[in-house]
Amino acid sequence: MGAMSAYGFDPLRRLRRLSRAEAWAFARAWALLLAADLGLRLLPFPRLERWLAPPLVEGAVAEETAVPRLVWATAAAARHHLYPMRCLPQALCLRWLLGRHGIAAELRIGVERRRGEMRAHAWVERDGRPVGDGPGVAQRWVPLRPV
Is 121 contained in some domain? yes
Closest CA to 31 of 86, 107, 105, 89: 89
Is 63 contained in some domain? yes
Instruction: Provide the domain limits for residue 117.
Output: 20-143
Is 5 contained in some domain? no
Is 4 contained in some domain? no
Confidence of residue 61 (pLDDT cuts 50, 70, 90): confident
**Number of structural domains, the chain?**
1
What percentage of residues in the chain have a pLDDT greater than 70?
84
**Tens-digit pLDDT profile for residues 66-85:** 999 999 999 999 998 889 89
| Cα dihedral: 125, 128, 132, 138 (round 10) | 100
Is 1 contained in some domain? no
Q: The whole model's pTM is what?
A: 0.84
**Tens-digit pLDDT profile for residues 7-30:** 444 555 666 788 999 999 999 999
The pLDDT of residue 5 is 40
Is 15 contained in some domain? no
Average pLDDT on 33-62 reads 87
